[in-house]
Homo-oligomer: A and B are copies of this chain.
Amino acid sequence: MKIITVSREFGSGGRELGKRMADVLGWDYYDREIISAIAEKTDLTEEYVENVLNSQTWQSIPLTFGHSFAAFSNYNPQINLLAEQRKVIEEIGRSGRDCIIVGRNADKILADINPFNIFVCATMDARTERCRARAADDEKLSRKELERKIKSIDKKRAATREIISGSVWGQRDSYHLTVNTTGWNIKELAPAVAAFAEKWFDKHSGGDED
């Protein structure tokens, strides 16, 4: 079983890269599908699940809180939903089907089954341009506001990752490959990254650790 995880800076095109790689390889693809599965399990709306998971409420947890983790998790819906998310990702990992998972710290959650982990980045210029091109809302923001938005989303991702896994988001030696999408057409980049990942699996699948 082969899994590729895609972590990414906001606006880098990482999601599109993951989707296109799944197309190239003919593998399953998980992104919003994970939100849907959580919503179904918890009887919450997808919108609520997504909002809570993307919110940054860690800072409001009082560090001197005197109760156990289990007790205080009742007060923080994000912790409960992150636990649900972990379960869904673990189920994907047990499904035995080759797949690509975008975001959600799947690289850390599935570390035991050795996924190939990609981090996707781009220059700030390329990221603001991509945001403008894909979201009507972002067109109204000034360059400075857009940059602030991008940095704030990245900061949340970094905080969630650190809390979930204790590891630093984007740190180069915790991914197999860090791909800069700047200057690439993602459609042309996808087969190049897929070919690289396939070479990794050629060497590392089937217990042949070389």
Q: Which A residues fall within an 8 A CB radius of B?
A: 119, 121-124, 170, 172-173, 175-180, 182-185, 188, 191-193, 195-196, 199-200, 203-204, 210
Contacts and interface: CB of A to CB of B under 8 A. Distances in A.
Nearest 9 CB-CB pairs, A to B?
Answer: A178-B178, A192-B199, A121-B172, A123-B173, A121-B173, A172-B178, A192-B196, A176-B180, A185-B210
Contacts of A199: 188, 191-192
A123 B193 CA distance: 21
Contacts of A182: 173
Contacts of A179: 177-178
A172 B119 contact: yes
Nearest to A192: B199
Given A178-B178, A184-B200, A192-B199, 14 more contacts: A121-B172, A122-B173, A172-B172, A172-B180, A173-B182, A175-B178, A176-B183, A177-B178, A177-B180, A178-B180, A188-B203, A188-B210, A192-B196, A192-B200
A114 B139 CA distance: 30
Contacts of A200: 184, 192
A185 B119 CA distance: 21
A104 B176 CA distance: 24
Contacts of A173: 121-124, 180, 182
A113 to B, nearest CB: 14
A119 B179 CA distance: 11
A95 B195 CA distance: 32
Contacts of A192: 195-196, 199-200
A203 B177 contact: no
Contacts of A191: 199
Nearest to A182: B173
